[in-house]
A = this chain, B = another copy of it.
Amino acid sequence: MQLTNDTFLRALAREETGHTPVWLMRQAGRYLPEYNSTRKKAGSFLALAKNPAYATEVTLQPLERFPLDAAILFSDILTVPDAMGLGLYFAEGEGPRFERPLRDEAAIRALQVPDPGGELRYVTDAVREIRKALAGRVPLIGFSGSPYTLACYMVEGGGSDDYRTLKSMLYGRPDLLHHILDVNARAVTAYLNAQIEAGAQAVMIFDTWGGNLTSAGYEEFSLAYSRKVIAGLTKAHEGRRVPSILFTKGGGQWLEAMAATGCDALGIDWSTNLQAARARVGSQVALQGNLDPAVLFAPPERVRSEARRVLDAFGTGPGHVFNLGHGISQFTPPENVAALVDEVHTYSIKLRTTGAR
């Protein structure tokens, strides 16, 4: 099927585009009243994520409000360990937790790669249904947590300030952590390929916790396994390249190594200056980012001026996908998102015609 708007995919391929495409991490989410209605109907976050019809409904909601250049599958980053039997749940007002975190060697050795056509079928069903509903309007992004980020949650049992349990294993029993990471890498590869097979036109790997490592640890425990995933990804589908985006929050010091994994683009958090990032790796990969999500708490004029700052930092030339540096906050006023998307489109067209920078 022909895409009406393929700006996002062309920007990832570092081709010239008429404007800078924009989408927002967690764009289908709690800052939208219509999302909260659907979630209420579904009964819980997990019931929402596991029902393809609801997942389709919320995936499309932000596109109805804002002229975004991509849709992203509504799901959770922890679906894979959930399918491994760890029992994902959400305690009210808290982040994700597992009923059965990985705490002993026997459980770790018993870990299996889940069949994406089995327990995870609801995800590929959602991808298919969303593609149908999108009808070629914009591309659909599939995603997964990185092997390391999944392991952080699997071992810790949930989020953490210091990842004490995970780090104790990392320094005390690295062989066990490597075993988990190896299973995770195979599971994530199969999972992302199933999403591509079902119709995801780009994939993103979220390494939310890679930034809690040392430089050497990042290479050994995070990047080595993301690299394996990227190497195993289906590279083309429906006659078109399926680009991959690698995002490590707090990974600003490691962009060169990330760019060398074979991914098509890097997600950049807001702590890194985009001009500097582009100088370092922008001839190898496209860059996606990197507005501080907290800018969206400011008045619309400030949202617009900060958006221009990000666009100016990247400058003209191909290979920029505008995004936040992290997921959008539930406290964001939707009208500020409208101002942001409008400014990215309007100003990036202007930049191209005036040839500023």
Contact among B163, B211, B276 for A215, CB-based, below 8 A: B276
A162: B residues at CB distance < 8 A: 293-294, 329
CA distance A177 to B272 in the complex (A): 22
A302 within 8 A of B: yes
A167 within 8 A of B: yes
Contact among B171, B211, B215, B218 for A297, CB-based, below 8 A: B171
Residues B298 and A171 in contact, CB atoms below 8 Å apart: yes
A270: B residues at CB distance < 8 A: 214
Q: Which of A225-275 contact B (CB under 8 A)?
A: 250, 252-253, 270-273
Q: A residues within 8 Å of B by Cβ? A: 162-164, 167-168, 170-172, 211-218, 250, 252-253, 270-273, 276, 292-295, 297-299, 302, 306, 309, 329, 331
CA distance A331 to B167 in the complex (A): 13
Q: How far is the CB of A316 from chain B (nearest CB, A)?
A: 20
A294: B residues at CB distance < 8 A: 162-164, 167-168, 170-171
Contact among B252, B253, B297, B309 for A168, CB-based, below 8 A: B297
Residues A214 and B292 in contact, CB atoms below 8 Å apart: yes
Binding site of A, secondary structure by majority: helix, strand, loop or mixed? Answer: helix
Contact among B213, B272, B299 for A253, CB-based, below 8 A: B272
Residues B271 and A171 in contact, CB atoms below 8 Å apart: no
CA distance A270 to B250 in the complex (A): 12
Q: Known interface pairs A171-B297, A253-B271, A297-B172. Does A164 touch B213 (Cβ–Cβ under 8 Å)?
A: no
**Can you give 15 A-B contacts (C-beta < 8 A)?**
A162-B293, A162-B294, A162-B329, A167-B292, A168-B294, A171-B297, A171-B302, A172-B297, A172-B298, A215-B271, A216-B309, A217-B292, A250-B250, A253-B253, A253-B272
Residues B172 and A215 in contact, CB atoms below 8 Å apart: no
A253: B residues at CB distance < 8 A: 252-253, 271-272
Q: How far is the CB of A255 from chain B (nearest CB, A)?
A: 10
Specify the chain B residue showing the minimal Cβ separation from A163: B294
Q: How far is the CB of A91 from chain B (nearest CB, A)?
A: 16
Question: Given A162-B293, A167-B295, A171-B298, list of 20 further CB < 8 A pairs?
Answer: A162-B294, A163-B294, A164-B294, A164-B297, A164-B329, A167-B292, A168-B297, A170-B294, A171-B297, A172-B297, A172-B302, A211-B271, A213-B271, A214-B271, A214-B292, A215-B273, A217-B292, A218-B271, A250-B250, A252-B253
